[in-house]
Amino acid sequence: MKGRVVQHTEGEANTSEARAEWAAREDHGPTRDLLNRDAEAFLHQSLSSPCVATIARAEGIWIEDTAGRRFMDFHGNSVHHIGYGHPRLVEAVKAQMDALPFSPRRFTNAVSVELAERLGKLAPGDLSKVLFTTGGSDANEVALKIARAATGRFKTLSFWDAFHGAGFGSASVGGEATFRSHIAGPLMPGTEHVAPFHCYRCAYGHPGPEACGLACAKMVEYVLAREGDVAAVIAEPMRAVPVVPPPGYWRAVREACNRHGALLIMDEIPTGLGKTGRMFAFDHDGIVPDIVTLGKALGGGMLPLAAVIARRDLDVCGEFAIGHYTHEKNPVTARAALTTLDIIEDEGLVERADKLGRAAMDRLHESLGGHARVGDIRGRGLMFGVEMVKDRDTRETDHATAEKIYYACLERGLSFKISAGSVLTLSPPLTIPEDDLDRALSIVEDAIREVTA
């Protein structure tokens, strides 16, 4: 397997000793063969090639590989809010496949209409017009098309480090180098960027996140005023790395958009549907955007589905196509989403995420808050992270140690993602039993202490 490049932490090639040691221990023949077949069959790309392990089963919070090893999945690509294979979802999808498996374009069906109505009622304010896509990147591109049509403008304002998808439009407004730096030629024109709300770590010497965060909000207004013709600001209400905005940040941005005629698009694809302890992450900040995009968990961790929810007066694209997807009104994916929403509501998962998340953050602050190699402990609900640093005073991030901790946890049966190269990002299902959450936190705490000893 020539030219294999491994990358499992955002923005960095993963050719580490820790990864090599993990791979060297892979002596289960069928698992090793499947990994080799995967590496030969698929085009390689950053962040997913080659794979670190295999998967044979997924149920609840657990994934199991072909060697029979089980891992609590605290990553799940943000799709597994209700866990894997929720029995109620499996039953509903099977029944829908028997009743109506597909709906061609220009035909409608009751289940898709019901889902659109449900999302319109779920969203706040006048957010009530819906369009479905098969993925979050497409949903964001639809939102950008609506903004252009509604405002007659083409420019956008977004944030460095943000992620909005891998398509040309979504990568253009995104700010992660991984999705921008290797595209030959220009990206989409008019995509202006400003510093994100967590730039208090930059070299400008701001005294803290609140002071700098609001300074960055003023930069949004500055650019809106100077450009004068921005169609939309598109942003993640809370970064999934994770980073929480400072108090008042989004209210300031919302007001700036109002003053300068720009729409505000909130990308809730990883954070929506209760992950942060509110149905929408922007609910924490007391604002209502003009357009919201949802995805990932909307399909219940089973089927691909995303949605755009816009203000009713933004329904201005009837004379041309802004999505026109083959599976735009697929009744099976719509049934999966409706059932997922039912499960979230009936099992009180939004409130549960808030309760468990607060308890987990309190525990991590108590157990690791004074650790010499731990920087930020941050997050909301069941999306939180522990940043590894070389020194608490300089806050220089420690990628190598974070990766060693990751593999130590994987060895103990816990899988998660490393974000920004050094943040142990923990995002369990909203259905996780409390004792499993406690056990996972113990694994992280023990691994940090052992690796940094």
Answer whether residue 172 shows pLDDT above 50.
yes
pTM of structure: 0.93
Please say whether the beta carbons of 415 and 71 come within 8 A. Answer: yes
Mean pLDDT across 423-437? 98
Closest CA to 392 of 413, 377, 405: 377
- How many angstroms separate the CA atoms of 317 and 156, rounded? 19
- The pLDDT value recorded for residue 179 is 78
- How many angstroms separate the CA atoms of 53 and 66, rounded? 9
Kindly state the tokens that stand for 357.
């998340």
Write down the residue that tokens 């700036």 correspond to: 256
| Residue ranges in 123-173 assigned as alpha helix (H) | 136-151, 168-173
- Partner residues linked to 127 by β-bridges: 311
Q: What percent of the chain has pLDDT over 70?
A: 91
Mean pLDDT across 323-337? 95
- The pLDDT value recorded for residue 178 is 77
List, edge to edge, every strand of the sheet that includes 383-388.
Answer: 374-380, 383-388, 423-426, 417-419
Residue-wise pLDDT tens digits, 12-52: 334 467 766 766 666 788 999 999 999 999 998 887 777 88
Mean pLDDT across 400-422? 95
Residue 284 sits at the vertex; the CA angle it makes with 279 and 290, to the nearest 5 degrees, is 75
Q: Is 119 exposed, middle or buried (0-12, 13-18, 19+ CB in 10 A)?
A: buried
Name the average pLDDT for the chain. Answer: 91
Secondary structure of 202-222 as H, E, C letters = CCCCCCCHHHHHHHHHHHHHH
Mean pLDDT across 143-164? 96
Answer whether residue 348 shows pLDDT above 90.
yes
List, edge to edge, every strand of the sheet that includes 291-294.
Answer: 127-133, 306-311, 291-294, 263-267, 230-235, 155-159, 191-194
- How many angstroms separate the CA atoms of 90 and 150, rounded? 40
Kindly state the tokens that stand for 92.
């509903």
Please say whether the beta carbons of 40 and 1 come within 8 A. Answer: yes
- The pLDDT value recorded for residue 442 is 98
Answer whether residue 5 shows pLDDT above 50.
no
Answer whether residue 313 shows pLDDT above 60.
yes
Handedness of CA 30, 56, 163, 208 (dihedral sign): negative
Please say whether the beta carbons of 367 and 446 come within 8 A. Answer: no
C-alpha dihedral, 249 to 355 to 83 to 402, nearest 10°: 60
Residue-wise pLDDT tens digits, 58-78: 999 999 999 999 999 999 999
- The pLDDT value recorded for residue 155 is 98
Closest CA to 368 of 306, 279, 451: 451
Banded model confidence at residue 3, pLDDT cuts 50, 70, 90? very low
Question: DSSP of 76-105, one letter per residue?
Answer: GGG--TT-BT-HHHHHHHHHHHHH-----T
Residue-wise pLDDT tens digits, 123-139: 999 999 999 999 999 99
Closest CA to 366 of 316, 441, 258, 440: 441
**Minimum mean pLDDT range among 47-51, 150-154, 210-214, 250-254:** 210-214
List, edge to edge, every strand of the sheet that includes 414-415.
Answer: 57-59, 62-64, 70-73, 414-415
Domains of the chain: 17-82+349-451 (3.90.1150.10), 87-346 (3.40.640.10)
- The pLDDT value recorded for residue 23 is 66
Question: DSSP of 313-346, one letter per residue?
Answer: GG---TTS-S---TTTT-HHHHHHHHHHHHHHHH
Q: Which long-range contacts (CB under 8 A, 24 or more apart) does 105-108 make?
A: 105/324, 105/326, 105/328, 105/329, 107/329, 108/329
Please say whether the beta carbons of 297 and 350 come within 8 A. Answer: no
Residue-wise pLDDT tens digits, 218-240: 999 999 999 999 999 999 999 98
